[in-house]
């Protein structure tokens, strides 16, 4: 008798699993727009992500998809701008690793070592003012 009851319970579980009701994905279309609750006829991937109806910065765990998002390239450009506007040096490569920025600037051959030290000190102060979150290692090379 116990075996018959156990068999009926197992059969009822299997039969209920094969029902026609679909729990997940029933309301989702090809673009997934019904799943995320967006009523847009063009679809999720074809519309402008900078619109007021869709904010890409809702969750800090997701990547920012807008065109004007801040990234390391903006910080690298700031280092180059500081070198260009505050000295006669030419900016070189800028490498950012964590909180450390390694900046290279190129000097003219006729510049003395005393002038290089003075420029290095001034640029270090400017870097602290403009981008204070990085520990900057400035290298001045001759070109």
pLDDT of residue 2: 85
Cα–Cα distance measured from residue 100 to residue 119, given in angstroms and rounded to the nearest whole number: 20
φ, ψ of residue 105 to 5 degrees: the values are -130, 150
What is the residue-wise DSSP string for 6-64?
HHHHHHHHHHHHT-S---SSSS--SSSTTTTT---TT-TTTS-TTSTT--TTS-TTSPP
Q: How far apart are the first and last CA of the chain?
A: 94
Q: How far apart are CA 139 and CA 83, in angstroms?
A: 12
Over range 102-130, report the average pLDDT: 93
Q: In the prediction, which pLDDT does 23 show?
A: 53
- List the domain boundaries for the chain: 25-69, 72-142
For residues 61-84, give the mean pLDDT. Answer: 80
The token duo for 49 is: 């992500």
pLDDT of residue 116: 92
- State yes or no: pLDDT of 57 exceeds 60: no
Q: Which pTM does this prediction carry? A: 0.54
For 22-37, write each residue's pLDDT tens digit. 555 555 555 555 545 4
Domain 72-142 has CATH 3.60.21.10: no
Which of 118, 120, 121, 92 is CA-nearest to residue 105?
Answer: 92
pLDDT confidence bin for 143, thresholds 50/70/90: confident
């Amino acid at each position: 008798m116990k075996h018959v009851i156990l068999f009926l319970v197992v059969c009822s579980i299997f039969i209920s699993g094969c029902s026609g009701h679909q729990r997940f994905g029933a309301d989702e279309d090809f673009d997934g727009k019904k799943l995320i609750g967006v009523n847009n006829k063009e679809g999720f991937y074809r519309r402008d992500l900078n619109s007021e109806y869709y904010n890409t910065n809702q969750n800090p765990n997701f990547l920012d998809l807008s065109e004007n998002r801040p990234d390391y390239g903006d910080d690298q450009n700031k280092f180059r701008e500081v070198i260009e506007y505050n000295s006669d040096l030419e900016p070189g490569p800028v490498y950012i690793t964590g909180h450390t920025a390694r900046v290279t600037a190129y000097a003219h051959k006729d510049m003395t070592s005393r002038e290089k030290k003075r420029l290095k000190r001034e640029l270090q102060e400017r870097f602290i003012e403009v981008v204070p979150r990085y520990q900057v290692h400035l290298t001045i090379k001759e070109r």
